[in-house]
Amino acid sequence: DTEVTQTPKHLVMGMTNKKSLKCEQHMGHRAMYWYKQKAKKPPELMFVYSYEKLSINESVPSRFSPECPNSSLLNLHLHALQPEDSALYLCASSQSGDRNNEKLFFGSGTQLSVL
């Protein structure tokens, strides 16, 4: 099973709303990632959790707040977003995140629209 599950599939929110994106994997992977992807562009790394600890924050604005409740779950809390934050948000996982040759497995993403 190489599945990473993301919910919701689509999300529309206003600039004053608070919402959360959820991600789950049952592959026993210990590293989980959030990426942001604009149309026809490659994914851009936002956050990396390794062994449930935040290991990389790519200078992401504080209106995005990640959380890793356990090794299988990853959340992204959203608050006071801007229209330019509209994008496909991808979750990914890999075996440990400690090595430089790992394969990342992606979820199908949440298409976020900020009005």
Partner 1 sequence: GQQLNQSPQSMFIQEGEDVSMNCTSSSIFNTWLWYKQDPGEGPVLLIALYKAGELTSNGRLTAQFGITRKDSFLNISASIPSDVGIYFCAGHTGANSKLTFGKGITLSVRP
Smaller CB distance to partner 1: residue 16 or 99? 99
Among 40, 62, 83, 84, binds partner 1 (CB under 8 A): 40
* 60 in contact with partner 1 (CB under 8 A): no
Count of residues for the chain? Answer: 115
Shortest reach from residue 36's CB to partner 1, in Å: 12
Three-class HEC string of 39-70: CCCCCEEEEEEECCEEEEECCCCCCEEEEEEE
* 56 in contact with partner 1 (CB under 8 A): yes
How far apart, in whole angstroms, are the C-alpha atoms of residue 43 and residue 18? 24
**What are the beta bridge partners of residue 36?**
44, 89
| Interface with partner 1 (CB under 8 A) | 2, 4, 6, 40-43, 45, 48, 56, 88, 90, 92, 98, 100-109, 111
